[in-house]
Each structure stands twice: as C-alpha cells, then as structure tokens.
Amino acid sequence: MNRLRLGLLAVGGAGLAALLVAACLDLPDFGGSRHPYGDRAVRASLARHIANTIASVNFDQRAYDTLGEMSILFAAVLGCVVLLREARDERRARPEPAEVVRPVRRYALLVLPVALLTGLYVIAHGQLSPGGGFQGGVVAATGLHLLYLGADHGALERVRPLGFFETADSLGVCAYLVLGAAGVLAGTAFLANTLLPYGTFDTLSSGGTVPLLNAAVGMEVASAVVVLLAHFLDQAVEIEEEPGR
C-alpha cells in the first residue's frame, strides 16, 4: 500500500516536473525583446490611467489575489496574538526605565515623524511609483517603534493604544471587502475597477479604486505590524514565567 502511494507520488511528480520543464522551455528569453505578459499588463494599466503597472496588476486585474494575501497576514497575526498572550503561569514584571544617550534619543524623535510621513507617501503614491499599501504600512509601523529604540517600552505603550490598532486592522480588511462588494452592487463583478472615474494619468487620484484599495491595505498592514510587535515586545520585555512552578 505504502509503495503504491509512493509510486503514485513519483508518477505525479514526474508529470508535474515534465510539464514545468516544457513550460520553461517556451518562456521568453531572459533579457530578450519579446514581452508577451509585459505588453498586455502595460496596455491594461494604461487603459485604467495607472502609471505603475505593478499596482494595476496587484489591485485591479489580480485584486482578488491581494485579498487572499491580506487575509493570510490577518490570520497570521491573529495566530501570533493567541500564541503570545499572557498565559496562566506567567506574570508581568515592570522593567526599569531605560537610559538612552541623548543623541540617539533625539535622532529617534526626529526621524519618527519622517518615517510616518514616508510611510504615508509610499502608500499614497502606490499607483504612481514603486510601493503601495504593504510597503508603506510596514515603514509607518516600523517608524512608530523608534519610540522603543529611543526611549523604552513604557514610552511606546503610552502613545500606542493597542485596542485602536486591533480595530484598525479589522477595519482595513473590511474596507477592502466593502470596496469589492461595491462592485457587485454596482452591477459588475467583485473587486472590478469600474466604480470610479479613472482620473488624469499620473496624478494622486488616478486609477479608479486602486488608491482606495492601497489605503485599505496600508491601514491593515500598519496596524497588523504594530499589533504583532506589541505582543513580541510584551513577551520579550515584560512577561515572565511565574516562579515556583
């Protein structure tokens, strides 16, 4: 029985390998002048007045895939929150406040707003230049943690209402779903980019729903990273195992 299963696996694997090799042989050459996918993607993105073709693929033609990726991040963060919660045999110990030398503290306080602004810039220019919701969200969330690096965990906790970020995380996912469902209600299809005018090429408001979807993803990713790091920091800095167990 076991050998039969292995044999079946071998046959299936060999078939898949043969198909993949055959497909690879037919791919356009590396660095060549024939770009069948690129040509089609660029044509579709220009038709929607989107300057960054990658954003057009991610948030227009393949917006459904992006929804999947977003739910993977959401589920992964949810799993981490469950795993890293304060268990029954653990207790919290306040760490002593940290003394960071002044230049580092000043640098952190100066760069923090720059990082938040850069994150917003990357999210807002998703349909114009490289970047988008994911990249910008990660930058903004990382920037917030300069407070931990420049001061200590207590300072970070004071300006970071965790419940707010948990809500924002879910709201981001909901906003994406609502934008998708709006397409259905308007009579086209789920996540179809037919709702809004395409606007002027190469401006912030171009691309129909793409900037809105980018903003939803940015909100989700930024809040998810903040929530994730909050639980990691809790475990690394505050939570200890109960002695005597």
Partner 1 sequence: MSDAVTVVALLLVAASATAAVAQRDPARQALVLSFLGMVLAVLFTVLQAPDVGLSQLAVGSALTPLLIMLSVRKVRRRGRTKEERT
Partner 2 sequence: MNGWILAATVELGGGGAAALWGVATGPPARRLTAQNLTTSVVCPALLLLAQGYARPAYVDLALLLALLGPVGTLVFARLLSGEQVSGPNVRGATWTAAGLDAAVVVAVCAAVGPGRSMVKLLLIGTLLIGGNIIASRALAGGFRGVGGG
| Distance from the first to the final alpha carbon of the chain | 48
**C-alpha to C-alpha distance for 123 and 177, rounded to whole angstroms:** 19
- CA-angle at 91, arms to 86 and 93, nearest 5°: 115
Binding mask 82-101 for partner 2 (x = CB under 8 A): -------------xxxxxxx
* Pair of tokens at residue 48: 């929607």
Q: Which residues pair with 91 in a beta bridge?
A: 240
> Any idea which residue has 């209402």 for tokens?
161
Residues 73-132 that bind partner 1 (CB under 8 A): 122, 130-132
Given partner 2, partner 1, none, residue 7, with its beta carbon under 5 to 8 Å by kind, binds none
The piece of 11-19, 178-186, 188-196, 236-244 that touches partner 1 (CB under 8 A) is 236-244
Residues 127-186 that bind partner 2 (CB under 8 A): 128-131, 135, 139, 142-143, 146, 148-149, 152-154
Asked if residue 148 lies in contact with residue 182, where contact means CB atoms within 8 angstroms, the answer is no
Length of the chain in terms of residues written:
245
Task: Tell me the three state secondary structure of residue 161.
Answer: coil
**C-alpha to C-alpha distance for 241 and 245, rounded to whole angstroms:** 8
Binding mask 6-35 for partner 1 (x = CB under 8 A): -------------------------x----
* Interface contacts to partner 1, rule CB under 8 A: 31, 52, 54, 122, 130-132, 134-135, 138-139, 141-142, 145, 225, 228-229, 232-233, 235-237, 240-241, 243
Which residues form the interface with partner 2 (CB under 8 A)? Answer: 95-101, 103-104, 107-108, 111, 114-115, 118, 122, 128-131, 135, 139, 142-143, 146, 148-149, 152-154, 237
